[in-house]
Each structure stands twice: as C-alpha cells, then as structure tokens.
A = this chain, B = another copy of it.
C-alpha cells in the first residue's frame, strides 16, 4: 500500500474558470492574492506550505534571523476567499494537450495554467559539486547551512590538527552576485564580531573566507561603480575576492580552481547561478536555456491559456533580447500585469504588452555598507545605501509581525554586534543524508 492511496486533488466544480498556479514565490503569491478577488477559481500549488522571502535567506544561514521571521504560511497570506484552493503538492508533469497537471496523488485539469515555479540552483551539470555544495535557495537550505557552519566550529574545537581545523573554518562562496556578496559579507562579520567570543580556543586567523567569481567583476547585474565598491568593502572585511576564476572540482574537501589553486574547506556555498525549473511535459521547443519562451503577454508561445511568469519565463524584447533578469520585481510586475490581461481577455478585449519598470537594484555587504543603483544613473553607497537597503527589505516582507520581529532582530544585532540564532538544529535533507547519518551517532539517541 502506498502512502498516497487515500489522497487526490478534489477541487469543487465552479462556474468560474479554473486558474492553476504552480509555485508560491513572489510571482505566484502576488498573482494568487490578486486573482482571488476576480471571477476565477484559483488553485495554488506549492511543495511548501509557506512563502519565503528569499533575499534574506543568507541572514538565516548566518544566524542573524530566525527562519520563521522570513516566511509566511500560504494559507495565512491568502484567506477568506471561497474561490481559493491551496494544495501542498509538487507538480510533476504538465500536459498541455489535455490541459492538466499531474502530481503524486493524481491530476487536476485547468482552464488557465500559470507557471510561476521560479528557478533552482544551477550546478552547471557538475554532480560532484551538487552533492557536496550548499545551495541557498530554500528555507531548509539556510537552516542546513547554519547548522553545518556552527557544527564545523564545534568540531574545530575538538581538533589539534592545523590543516584539518583550517578545512573546518574556511568557507568558499562561489558566485559574485548579490547572494554571494551578501553571504560573504555576513560571514566576515560573524568571523569578526561573534565567533572569537564564542570560540576563544580557536584562532580565527586560520579562517579564510573566499568569494570566487567567474567574470572579472562583482555584481554583474549592477553598475561598475557598485561592483567596485562591493569589492572594496569585502577587501576591508578581509574576504579573499577572486575574480576571473571558476571552480573546476570539489572533492575530499578540496576546492580546485581552473588555475589549479587549491583551497581546503568543508563548506562550499554555491551561489553561482540559477536556472528555470522546467517541469516535465513542457514541449522542448518552448524551452530555451531552461526558461519557457513567452510573448509580451506572458503567454507561452502558441497557447491561449498557458502562461509563465518570473524566473521561469523568458520574454524577449528589444530592451531585453535574452529575457528579463531573474529577480523578484520582474515576477511581481508580471503577476500584476497578467491579472489585468486575464481580465481583459475575459471581457473579450485585447491584452496589453508587458513593460518592465526597473526600480533599481541593491546589495548589502555588512553593517553600514551597501551599494544602490537607481534608474537615471543614480548611485550611492555606504551608510545611506545601507539604510535604504534595510528599509526596502523591511517594507517588502509580508506581514506586520514578520516586519516587526525582523526590525527588532536587526536593531539588536546592530547594537550588540551579536547574532542570536546560533542553534544547531539538524534538518532532514536528502542530499545531506549520508552526512547526517555519519553525524548522528555523535549527538542523537535512537530511544528518546
């Protein structure tokens, strides 16, 4: 008997057309919250029961914030609409011919399908790295990484072998985009302010933080000025920034770069790139570089009622010949725009083409240090940029309570130079299973 024998996706029939939305990230959540107010039956499917504010994942990973503060339960975020149905399920397959999506517990038919299932970490086909590196795209990744880092320090205290201790303390971050820069900065601050107090027995001069970027500069999505400034800030924080190099292999706790440089570390954080999550069944000719080709209405090429938005969608235009950047504002704006278009379509009117409004981009490197690019070639850095970064992120996160708890945490961390969430709570993660099994004898007991 399978575990799923009693389960199926029964959604009541409705006189409204059924919109199935796959993924509750920035795009899918926005879309759901707006569409439930219109004459649609909205079915949102996600494998997690919560929406997570991904830009702050790195702060969970580095013990600055609790996991619960950056996530909100999906059912709390959208409620009291009787045309809304959330299903905590992973969508395994799409059948665009018979208009249905499949899951482990059965199929569901749709009138409209909107894929908003975003992106996953791109390991560029390197299985060895995929198996051993830490991605940072999901809440469980952040908690896994936090536990792993702290556990390494606890193990370092137990060793007298210099080389082994260094491999425990060293951290290699791959990818010089915002995530890589932010996590490297946060680790440098942990090393500077928190760890020496926690571990007076360790010599943190033995801890080296590396940031490896394949191109010749950091923050490629931002201005040269911001990239340079981020580099300067990271230098000041003693992060070893290496540009123009890439990771060739990672085995036996050795990261090897393409110039044969070797770095001994038990922690490789992989923020080198993302790729669209392509669900099985989507015709191959519709996919280019792991993104689904859509027209200016986010319609998947050749379909009337099949849409894709956000990271997983590739809308080519004059301004964006390779599609839009894979960032939250694109997903949110496409969601808002698609709701308008669906209403127009329902009224038999012509849909309007999407036009992305770039509101700027930013990254924080550490306390009082951030870089901001605004449209119209406005750039600023330093304390004011850092305050802007905090304000924008605080305002963007869902829920008043989350805002408040994060604000308190940030105030606390700022004035005490502390990071309170230094708990090692091990998570179940299929990719880490061997690791967990080897560790478990040290700490756990099967009979309690």
Chain A positions within 8 Å of B, measured between CB atoms, are 3-4, 6-10, 47-50, 66-69, 71-73, 75-76, 79-80, 82, 85-90, 104-105, 120-121, 130, 135, 137-140, 143, 150-151, 154-155, 157-161, 164, 197-201, 277, 399, 401-402, 404-405, 408-409, 412, 418, 420-431, 436, 438-448
A438 to B71, CA, bound (A): 25
A66 to B3, CA, bound (A): 30
B49 in contact with A424 (CB, 8 Å): yes
A199 in contact with B75 (CB, 8 Å): yes
Most buried by B among A6, A198, A412: A6
A6 in contact with B159 (CB, 8 Å): yes
A198 in contact with B73 (CB, 8 Å): yes
B442 in contact with A89 (CB, 8 Å): yes
Partner pick for A404 among B6, B408, B418, B446, CB 8 A cutoff: B408
- Interchain residue pairs with CB less than 8 A apart (25): A6-B164, A7-B159, A8-B160, A50-B423, A50-B424, A66-B69, A67-B423, A68-B68, A68-B421, A72-B420, A73-B422, A76-B198, A82-B200, A85-B201, A87-B157, A87-B158, A89-B442, A120-B445, A137-B448, A143-B425, A277-B448, A405-B405, A405-B408, A430-B446, A431-B446
A198 in contact with B75 (CB, 8 Å): yes
A319 to B322, CA, bound (A): 80
Nearest chain-B residue to A66 (Cβ)? Answer: B68
- How many Å from the CB of A18 to the closest CB on chain B? 16
- How many Å from the CB of A445 to the closest CB on chain B? 7
Partner pick for A443 among B48, B405, B425, B442, CB 8 A cutoff: B48
Partner pick for A135 among B49, B424, B448, CB 8 A cutoff: B448
Nearest first, the 5 closest Cβ-Cβ pairs linking A and B are A428-B428, A66-B68, A120-B448, A73-B422, A47-B443
A197 to B79, CA, bound (A): 7
A420 in contact with B401 (CB, 8 Å): yes
A120 to B441, CA, bound (A): 17
B158 in contact with A8 (CB, 8 Å): yes
A67 to B160, CA, bound (A): 34
Contacts of A82 in B (CB 8 A): 200
Given A76-B422, A88-B154, A88-B424, list of 16 further CB < 8 A pairs? A3-B438, A9-B158, A10-B160, A47-B444, A49-B423, A50-B424, A66-B69, A67-B425, A68-B423, A73-B420, A73-B423, A79-B198, A401-B409, A401-B412, A427-B427, A427-B428
A408 to B412, CA, bound (A): 15
A3 to B150, CA, bound (A): 17
Nearest chain-B residue to A443 (Cβ)? Answer: B47
A49 in contact with B154 (CB, 8 Å): yes
Most buried by B among A104, A408, A425: A425
Contacts of A104 in B (CB 8 A): 441-442
- How many Å from the CB of A422 to the closest CB on chain B? 4
Nearest chain-B residue to A67 (Cβ)? Answer: B425
- How many Å from the CB of A409 to the closest CB on chain B? 8
- How many Å from the CB of A433 to the closest CB on chain B? 8
- How many Å from the CB of A42 to the closest CB on chain B? 14
A3 in contact with B439 (CB, 8 Å): yes
Contacts of A80 in B (CB 8 A): 197, 200
- How many Å from the CB of A383 to the closest CB on chain B? 24
